[in-house]
Amino acid sequence: MVNLMPLKIMLTRDVREIDYTILNLAKKLFTKLGQNIISIETIDGWDGSNVRIVVKEASIETVKKIVKAIRELENEIGKPGIIIPDVVEQNES
Amino acid sequence: MSLRRYLLKSEVLLREADLDLHNNCFNKAISAYWSSIEALLRAFLLAIKKSPPERAGKLISLVSKELKKIDPYADHIVASINQVYIHRRNIEHRSKLADPRLAKYIAELSRIIINHMRKIISALISETNSAIWH
Interhelix angle B26-47/B100-133, rounded to 10 degrees, is 20
Backbone φ, ψ for residue A90 (5° rounding): -50, -45
Between A and B, how many CB-CB pairs are < 8 A?
A: 75
Asked if B56 lies within 8 A of A47 by C-beta distance, the reply is: yes
Per the CB < 8 A criterion, the answer to whether A70 and A82 are in contact is no
Each residue of B49-65: pLDDT tens digit?
999 999 999 999 999 99
* Domain harbouring B47, CATH code: 1.20.120.330
| Chain A contact set for B56 (CB, 8 A) | 47-48
The structural domain count of chain B equals 1
Chain A touched by B56 (CB under 8 Å): yes
* Distance between B132 CA and the closest CA of chain A, angstroms: 31
Tell me which DSSP letter residue B91 carries: H
Beta bridge partners of A87: A53
The structural domain count of chain A equals 1
Asked if B55 lies within 8 A of A46 by C-beta distance, the reply is: yes
Domain that holds residue B14: 3-133
ipTM, two decimals, is: 0.91
Each residue of A5-62: pLDDT tens digit?
678 888 888 998 889 999 999 999 999 998 899 999 999 999 999 999 999 999 999 9
pTM, to two decimals: 0.92
A10 falls within a domain: no
Domain that holds residue A45: 36-92
A13 falls within a domain: no
Chain B touched by A70 (CB under 8 Å): yes
Q: What's the Cα-to-Cα distance from B87 to each of A68, B30, B56, B106, B107, rounded to whole Å?
A: 15, 8, 13, 8, 12
